[in-house]
């Protein structure tokens, strides 16, 4: 594999082999880091591809490795140097800070949300590490500070790429959406996908897979009726609209948030590529919720 790392002839090469070889080929006490550590922790969007990345404490001189990109850092927090499946690796929290110094802000933001939703990091861990690393003027501190300021202790990370996409479209038009909010009138009705901040306006995102059957439509209609009767307004967005016509979705979210668009009440699931079927106006208890002929 290299002059420093040997592999038994005929032995299969696994992901763990690649990861450990990168660590062993690095000078000194090295740990898998950056995008390689993100992949090793299972964060979506990162792959264990060559060249791998490792980090070691600054030694005054630098040495090259054939198998990895070696990063040197002063005063690495030892409590965030760990191992996973037998491979030395930076902790999820430290990995995020290292990514902030090398990767695009949007990619770092998604990595934070994924790590948070996977319970790899906590609010306390990230803010404690921010205070520690900010004193040393590391790259990426400004990015991490701004991203963490937008995520308080009550922050609920998006559960899917779809939720993250909707949040981004709303941000593009200056609308702040709270995710996964428990709502109800006199009693609890359920948890909704989004609520426009400081308003009674609800945004629900429906996928063809989980909301396309007749039974799904009936369940959704019952829940939506309960929400409207409790005083909430609804905007329904279909998954394929988000990816195929994002500009129109932005405009609908913006108009809905300002109260210049009539609320929408779900009736039936549209076929892919067709205009969704909605009934607008006050709820009519006699409205037909069956799929159109």
Please state whether the peptide bond connecting residue 242 to the residue before it is cis, i.e. omega within 30 degrees of 0.
no
Could you give the CA distance from residue 8 to residue 58 in angstroms, rounded to a whole number?
A: 32
Query: What was the pLDDT predicted at 240?
Result: 86
Judged by DSSP in three states, 160 sits in coil
DSSP H helical segments within 81-237, as ranges? 92-100, 105-117, 123-134, 141-149, 161-172, 208-211, 214-229
How does pLDDT run across 180-191, given as a tens digit for each residue?
888 875 677 888
Q: How confident is the model at residue 291, as a pLDDT?
A: 34
* pLDDT confidence band for 95 (50 / 70 / 90): very high
Mean pLDDT (whole number) for 164-185: 86
Between residues 61 and 111, the one the model is more confident about = 111
Lowest mean pLDDT among 17-26, 110-119, 155-164, 197-206: 155-164
Beta strands in 74-113 (DSSP E): 81-84, 87-90
pLDDT in tens, 217-240: 788 888 888 888 888 899 988 888
Q: Which of 33-42, 65-74, 256-265 has the highest mean pLDDT?
A: 33-42
What's the pLDDT at 277? 45
Structure tokens that stand for 65 in this block = 């490795």
Using pLDDT thresholds of 50, 70 and 90, give the confidence band for residue 272: very low
Whether the predicted pLDDT of 61 surpasses 60: no
CB 54 within 8 A of CB 71: yes
pLDDT at residue 33 tops 90 = yes
Residue 198 DSSP SS3 = coil
Name the packing angle between helices 105-117 and 92-100 (round to 10°). 170
Query: Taking 90 as the threshold, does the pLDDT of residue 144 lie above it?
Result: yes
């Amino acid at each position: 594999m290299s002059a420093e790392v040997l592999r038994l002839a005929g032995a299969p090469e696994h992901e763990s082999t690649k990861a450990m070889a990168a660590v062993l080929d690095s000078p000194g006490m090295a740990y898998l880091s950056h995008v390689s550590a993100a992949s090793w922790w299972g964060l979506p969007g990162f792959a264990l591809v060559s060249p791998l990345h490792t980090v070691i404490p600054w030694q005054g001189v630098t040495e090259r490795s054939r198998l990895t990109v070696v990063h040197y850092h002063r005063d690495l927090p030892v409590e965030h140097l760990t191992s996973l499946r037998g491979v030395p690796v930076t902790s999820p929290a430290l990995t995020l800070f290292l990514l902030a110094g090398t990767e695009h802000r949007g990619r770092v933001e998604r990595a934070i949300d994924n790590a948070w939703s996977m319970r790899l990091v906590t609010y306390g861990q990230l803010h404690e590490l921010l205070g520690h690393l900010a004193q040393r003027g590391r790259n990426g501190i400004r990015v991490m500070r701004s991203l963490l300021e937008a995520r308080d202790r009550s922050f609920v990370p998006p559960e899917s790429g779809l939720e993250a996409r909707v949040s981004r479209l709303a941000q593009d038009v200056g609308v702040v959406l709270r995710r996964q909010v428990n709502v109800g009138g006199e009693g609890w009705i359920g948890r909704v996908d989004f609520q426009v901040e400081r308003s009674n306006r609800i945004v629900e995102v429906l996928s063809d897979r989980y909301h396309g059957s007749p039974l799904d439509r009936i369940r959704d209609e019952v829940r939506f009726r309960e929400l409207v009767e409790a005083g909430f307004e609804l905007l329904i967005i279909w998954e394929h609209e988000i990816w195929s016509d994002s500009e129109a979705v932005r405009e609908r979210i913006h108009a809905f948030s300002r109260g210049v668009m009539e609320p929408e009440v779900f009736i039936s699931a549209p076929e892919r590529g067709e205009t969704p079927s909605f009934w607008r106006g006050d709820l009519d208890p006699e409205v037909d919720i069956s799929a159109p002929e």
